Amino acid sequence: MMLPAYPGWFEQIHYTPLFFFCDGRAVVTLFFVLSGLVLNLKYVRAQTLPRHWVSGFIINRIFRIYPAFLLAILLSLFLRFFIYDASFMAGMSDQLPLHWQNALNIPELLRLATLVAPNIHPDQIDAPMWSLVFEMRISLGFPLIIFWLAQRRNLAGDLCFLVVVYAVGYLLKQETIRWVPLFVLGAVCAKHFEVLRSRLGNLNPARQALWLLVALFLYEAGTMAEKYLPGSALGGYVSAQLTGLGAAGIILASVSFKKIAAWLAAPLFHFIGCTSYSFYLIHALFQMAPAPLVYQLTGSWLATWLTALALTYLVAWLMFKLVEKPMIKKGHAVADRFSQRPNPQPEILAK
């Protein structure tokens, strides 16, 4: 995103499944599906929904999302007004400085801080925060999804419910509602998690490889559709939902196939997982500043990339240790005053 022009190999893979390694939009889709799965997982393992569980759920989501998010806003303001220099953008992407070229809009900043207010456009603060707007809005209504899926229905019945949600998401044509099916898809996977994991884990290697190939193809369906399918509202919606199905396939494979699960349990991936939320919040900020300063001083894209990456992970780790973990613990403590939470389950899928 910092380069003035994409390299040739990037253009070659852009409309193929190999774009898996660069597709930021698809990663957000995966994040939404994973949210639905993880948020429902502990409730489907409980015998019954505890008293006042809705208030406990909302409190935990607030303490999970807002503290690091608000700190990222403060970091954005600091970098913008004390480190960022538009003159250092020479030789870099023309798109990058567009985010901070306009004067700061205070009403927009205040709307963004709520995460649920209408007409939020975070580009002038931190562009990736757009996905948190939908994450928090849908979180407020997610207890309805948990309650509905808690009813005794088999997988076929839940898939019918998912189809209805797909149809409603398209017919209503509302920006937040169109992302709801991805959360419902994850929640359905959570309800039938043990059965799905058992069946996938028992597949032979050839069928596991086929599962991964199909999941990867679906995951990149949205990007490939930009070139191979005519653009339309229906086409865009369908491609996003196909990407969600691919994401669900990748997530289920990651916890069902022993070799992949063992690989992802390595300390490096544990670190990447723990820091992923804060990293996502701040990665674009370090592309804006101080990456351009490093590039002007060194003239090296490699030095710029490594410096930005190292700084981003350092700050993300500090945010995780000093903000995320304490606030998660605090959220549980506050929620305990309102509800009896299900016993936490140790899982490699931690959010």
Q: Take residue 160 and report the two structure tokens written for it.
A: 């019918």
**How far is residue 73's CA from residue 129's CA, in Å, rounded to a whole number?**
9
Q: Tell me the pLDDT band of 219, cut-offs 50, 70 and 90.
A: very high
Per-residue model confidence (pLDDT) at position 348: 43
Q: Per residue in 226-270, pLDDT tens?
A: 776 666 777 788 889 999 999 999 999 999 999 999 999 999 999
**How far is residue 286's CA from residue 184's CA, in Å, rounded to a whole number?**
33
Per-residue model confidence (pLDDT) at position 11: 80
Per-residue model confidence (pLDDT) at position 210: 97
Per-residue model confidence (pLDDT) at position 226: 74
Is 3 a residue whose pLDDT tops 70? yes
Segment 74-79 mean pLDDT: 96
Is 202 a residue whose pLDDT tops 70? yes
Per-residue model confidence (pLDDT) at position 350: 46
More confidently predicted of 141 and 99: 141
H/E run at residue 10: helix 8-13
| b/e 66-94 (16+ beta carbons within 10 angstroms → b) | bbbbebbbebbeebbeeebeeebbeebee
Per-residue model confidence (pLDDT) at position 349: 44
Per-residue model confidence (pLDDT) at position 65: 97
Please give the model's pTM, rounded to 2 decimal places: 0.92
Of 4, 5, 23, nearest in space to 226 by CA: 23
